[in-house]
A and B are shown apart, each in its own frame.
Chain A
């Protein structure tokens, strides 16, 4: 009787020992994993930021050619999903604005580069990234849809059939992205460009 009690005590002591060693091993592994990941994030952080910005910078140079660009900051821009706001100069005159607009569709995040002239009229829209594209559509249809935004000003709505006035764009069947999401992104960008045009943006120090 006594010996079985002793055996039970030894067993429970062994179980406790195994539990403590399991927890300790796991904590050590987690600490090492955390250290590896955080140091790698530190090393790659700048490269990731540059890589993510690069498609917008290339699109901006194509859509809004200029001598120099100045990055601007605007208080509520990020909350509206608008980033990388730039004003474009030729010599010392403002020739336009270019911003990046992020919006969400069923296929994931959609990133657009939206450029305007100095008066805030949209000159071009380009898709920077489209998340998971709708494989049944084609990029040619995307281009046809995006070309309708040129020359528009203010809030734009989507027309299912024929376009009634200058504030509407016609839906194109067979696109790789959602037309609603594109419209939403362009409208957000257009609203922020309206503020920048009034001089409400602050220059970001380089």
Chain B
């Protein structure tokens, strides 16, 4: 049990801090900044990222033995593009307001550097479970970070959460909902995470 929780803790730490392409290499910032102005948009964007990364990883791992090396990357990206197109159609049909806010930026996920980064990491893992783990770690990290950003930006910027007005709108710090405010917050988040890394490095945990 202890071993299991230790593995889960390591996976969470890896996904959010150490192996996170978004925080470590600053990849895929546009979808993250655009979709983090509202919590509901962030939830949809986060889930979409996990789905795209996971299904392209699993399919690529499944076909890795039969598909020639030359088209593996192309196949990986094609699967991601198709997944995003399917997600787009579903969001258009069932969540039109979310589509209005982030629809334009969803396709960016399929060509994001994170996808290539994730593909490069998956290549080293030959089993499907390994590829799935890598995709979940990367996608999960994106999900956690975008949720943290969106929570702060929506609550302190608009005074609402998931569309419910909690504080009067005029008391919100409007600059947080602007791209500049998002970038500053992201910088703060990265600084906090890096300080955490340094702390546990000193403690000799890694």
Contacts and interface: CB of A to CB of B under 8 A. Distances in A.
Interface of A: 18-19, 21-22, 25-26, 29-30, 33, 36-37, 40-41, 44, 47-48, 51-52, 54-55, 108, 129-132, 135-136, 138
Contacts of B94: 47, 51
B177 A135 contact: yes
A131 B101 CA distance: 7
Given A22-B68, A22-B71, A132-B101, A30 B89 contact: no
Interface of B: 37, 63, 66-68, 70-71, 74-75, 78-79, 81-82, 85-86, 89-90, 92-94, 96, 100-101, 104, 157, 169-170, 174, 177-178
Given A48-B92, A52-B96, A135-B178, A25 B75 contact: yes
Given A33-B78, A52-B92, A135-B177, 20 more contacts: A21-B68, A22-B71, A25-B63, A25-B66, A25-B68, A25-B75, A26-B75, A29-B78, A29-B79, A30-B78, A36-B82, A37-B89, A44-B92, A44-B93, A48-B89, A51-B92, A51-B93, A51-B96, A55-B96, A136-B178
11 contacts: A18-B70, A19-B70, A22-B71, A25-B63, A37-B86, A37-B89, A40-B86, A47-B93, A51-B92, A51-B94, A135-B174
A19 B69 CA distance: 10
Interface of chain A: mostly helix, strand, loop or mixed: helix
Contacts of B169: 138
A25 B89 contact: no
